[in-house]
Amino acid sequence: MTLFLIAMLIVVALLLVEIPVAFAFGIGALIFAYTTGNDVSFLIPHGFKTASGFSLLALPLFIFAGILMAEGGISERLLNFVNAFVGRIKGGLGAVTVLTCALFGAISGSSSAAIAAIGQIMIPRMVREGYPVGHATALVACSSVLALMIPPSIPMIVFSITGGLSVGAAFLSTIIPGVLLTGLYCLLNFWFLRNDENIKVDAPLQFRQAAKGVLNSGLNAGFALLMPILILGVIYSGIATPTEAAAIAVIYAIPVGLWIYRGLSLRTLGSATVKAVTMTGSIMAVLFFLFIMSRAMILEQIPQELATSLLQLSDNKYVILFLLNILLLLIGMLVDDISGSVLAAVIFLPVIQQLGIDPIHFAAVVGVNLGLGNVSPPCAPMLYMAGGVSKLSLDQYITPTLKFLCFGHLPMVFIVTFIPELSLFLPRLLLGY
């Protein structure tokens, strides 16, 4: 255990000096394997065999589908659609941002893509309409992580495959928390801006005009909105596996982008493919080294030792869940969501199983916690990325971010942790889980 802790400290130190996450874990795995006498020659085949699992092919295909839709020009259409509902009330543009990020997440599955696509349009638009720039940036950063909770979610694919769980059930577990968090962020946005006199609001439309606007923008965004329905529909009706559903989504997104939305050309199709493969590579690098690290940990019975240590602190499952929340938050603050989900599956699932906690409930806890970690400094990739879009330094938007996190995401973490029915309702209803 001491050697493992030393290896993890080295990993953290390497992460802090900006060594790529994959190589930080790779070096940690090497050090741990050598000091414990494990032969790296036997660990590499394990990493390769786990990475070449058929079910993991869903990962590149979902990434590809998301990039194709994002490149195909869906962001403006989604924004117009949501704007037709809530755009003409005070704080409505903020709600449009939150709702569009959630919808965009359901299509692309990537929070960074949500910031790039939605943030670049909505931050300047909100600032023009009198929103404080810090508020606008914080809202985009916090809402972007909704993409991790609304399926298809890439961290959930990775978590369920690593933990040997049903991908479909893991997808469903975070839907209700994701929808609730979307609503909570909308409410908080209205609440924080209630006394702001600078915000401009367009005059409300008559019912007929408003209905016409909703219908037109809905038709315009229809093909994009159909994609998550298509993906989830084919998975939960049993027509296709998640991997095949992802391929269907890619094949659907190509003609939509090329001929219907006309955002794609044959040239940008090539560009989108390279982006998807590169993004897949960067994620798979992390997974490959984490699979090696996890094998070395399992050989040394580290998960069991950790479980015993945690259970020695308390045998009350709520206390353990609370402790796990803190640990997951710390992991989320230090590493990205993908690495966090693998670590959670490898290290914490044995503890969860010993305590009799449902692993699908734990999948939701992991999803919500890692989302929070993604916008919590020091390593808060989504937070920095949103700041990059608005050209603000962290101190200019950290206060509104913390307000959103403390009153929005953090309570949701506890709600999901201590009310398992919230995450288990849909898997039970749709999959008889």
Find the part of the chain contacting another protein (CB under 8 A) among 45-53, 119-127, 201-209, 419-427.
Answer: 45-53
| Interface of this chain with another protein, residues 393 to 432, rule: CB under 8 A | 393-394
Find the part of the chain contacting another protein (CB under 8 A) among 72-80, 329-337, 360-368, 406-414.
Answer: 329-337
Residue 331 three-state SS = helix
Q: Which of 7, 8, 11, 14: binder of another protein (CB under 8 A)?
A: 14
What residues contact residue 261 under an 8 Å CB cut-off, 6+ apart?
72, 73, 74, 77, 223, 224
Find the part of the chain contacting another protein (CB under 8 A) among 47-55, 74-82, 86-94, 417-425.
Answer: 47-55
Least separation in angstroms between CB 41 and another protein: 6
Least separation in angstroms between CB 19 and another protein: 5
Least separation in angstroms between CB 372 and another protein: 15
Q: Which amino acid is at 394?
A: L
Nearer to another protein, 41 or 312 (CB): 41
Q: Which of 22, 106, 184, 297: binder of another protein (CB under 8 A)?
A: 22
Nearer to another protein, 220 or 369 (CB): 369
What residues contact residue 79 under an 8 Å CB cut-off, 6+ apart?
96, 100, 118, 121, 122
Contact yes or no for 325/413 (Cβ under 8 A): yes
Phi-psi region of 53 (alpha: psi -120 to 50; beta: other; left: phi over 0): beta
How many residues lie near another protein (CB under 8 A)? 79
| Interface of this chain with another protein, residues 63 to 82, rule: CB under 8 A | 64, 67, 70
Contact yes or no for 188/408 (Cβ under 8 A): yes
| Interface of this chain with another protein, residues 24 to 43, rule: CB under 8 A | 26-27, 30, 40-41, 43
Q: Which amino acid is at 322?
A: F
Least separation in angstroms between CB 389 and another protein: 8
Nearer to another protein, 92 or 119 (CB): 119
Of 33, 49, 48, 108, nearest to 78 by C-alpha is 108
State yes or no: residue 203 binds another protein (CB under 8 A).
no
Residue span 145-184 as binding mask against another protein, x where in contact by CB under 8 A, dash where not: ----------------------------------------
Report CA torsion sign: 30, 11, 357, 365: negative
Q: Give 11-65 as a DSSP string.
A: HHHHHHTT--HHHHHHHHHHHHHHHTT--HHHHHHHHHHHHT-GGGGHHHHHHHH
d(CA 420, CA 358): 8
Find the part of the chain contacting another protein (CB under 8 A) among 59-67, 80-88, 145-153, 184-192.
Answer: 59-67
Find the part of the chain contacting another protein (CB under 8 A) among 22-30, 97-105, 119-127, 313-321.
Answer: 22-30
Nearer to another protein, 291 or 362 (CB): 291
| Interface of this chain with another protein, residues 330 to 389, rule: CB under 8 A | 334-336, 338-339, 378-379, 381, 384-385, 387-388
b/e per residue 311-336 (b: at least 16 CB within 10 A): eeeeeebeebbeebbebbbebbbbbb
- Looking at residue 202, what DSSP letter applies? P
d(CA 422, CA 362): 12
State yes or no: residue 238 binds another protein (CB under 8 A).
no
| Interface of this chain with another protein, residues 262 to 301, rule: CB under 8 A | 266-267, 270-271, 273-286, 288-289
CB atoms within 10 A of CB 132: 18
Q: Which of 161, 248, 290, 320: binder of another protein (CB under 8 A)?
A: 248
Least separation in angstroms between CB 417 and another protein: 25
The encoded tokens of residue 329 equal 């938050």
Q: Which of 149, 186, 231, 392: binder of another protein (CB under 8 A)?
A: 392
Q: Give 79-108 as a DSSP string.
A: HHHHHHHHTTSTTHHHHHHHHHHHHHHHHH
State yes or no: residue 391 binds another protein (CB under 8 A).
yes
Residue span 83-122 as binding mask against another protein, x where in contact by CB under 8 A, dash where not: ---------------------------x-xx--x------
The encoded tokens of residue 280 equal 């897949």
Rounded to 5°, the CA angle 386-388-389 comes to: 65
Residue 375 three-state SS = coil
Of 110, 231, 226, nearest to 168 by C-alpha is 231
Least separation in angstroms between CB 412 and another protein: 23
Find the part of the chain contacting another protein (CB under 8 A) among 15-23, 122-130, 306-314, 419-427.
Answer: 15-23
Least separation in angstroms between CB 425 and another protein: 29
